[in-house]
Amino acid sequence: MQKKQLMSKKQLNDILDELINKIIKKNKDMKDLVIIGIHTRGVYLAKRIALKIKNSKKIDVPQGSIDITFYRDDVSSLRKKHPTVKGTDISFSIVNKNILLVDDVIYTGRTIRAALNELIDFGRPQKIQLAVLIDRGNRELPIHPDFTGKIINTPKHKKIKVQLKEIDETEGVVIYPVKS
């Protein structure tokens, strides 16, 4: 598998800092803000966003994680593959809250649709905003992020992977061909 580096650790962190600054600027009143990351890499990005808000605004923003495995529209085909379920952890009320939903890469929009469906099962939030590090285009659903780190239009036969030290032991963004 031929991987090509699209972003270095420094570039990734610079883009993430810019993304966080946009989020802070748009969410001046953070008293009702909660951050929820989509498993797997969205969870770690959500933690980084919450930490930066805490360090710059001196506010502890509640954060949680969501596992959309059983909300996917292809869940029946996944059952044959025995997916790893990581679990959803939302230990606070989302009713009337402003949710910042975080993911690493947006592609077709199906992951976000599944996350939205699951979130509504927890209650009715005031507003849901979407933050993604990479928007790779090729949407199949009319879903658009409120906050985007970088747009990298990518053909369908390629895959983008955000690498984070917490799980990949390295940082950066790579692109590679999808196995046929």
**pTM score of the predicted model:** 0.94
Each residue's pLDDT expressed in tens, for the chain with a length of 180 residues? 689 999 999 999 999 999 999 999 999 889 999 999 999 999 999 999 999 999 999 999 999 999 999 888 875 555 556 667 789 999 999 999 999 999 999 999 999 999 999 999 999 999 999 999 999 999 999 999 999 999 999 999 999 999 999 999 999 999 999 986
Q: What is the 3-state secondary structure (H, E, C) of the chain?
A: CCCEEEECHHHHHHHHHHHHHHHHHHCCCCCCEEEEEECCHHHHHHHHHHHHHHHHHCCCCCEEEECCHHHCCCHHHHHCCCCCCCCCECCCCCCCCEEEEEEEEECCCHHHHHHHHHHHHCCCCCEEEEEEEEECCCCCCCCCCCEEEEECCCCCCEEEEEECHHHHCCCEEEEEECCC
Tell me the domains of the chain and their CATH numbers.
30-157 (3.40.50.2020)
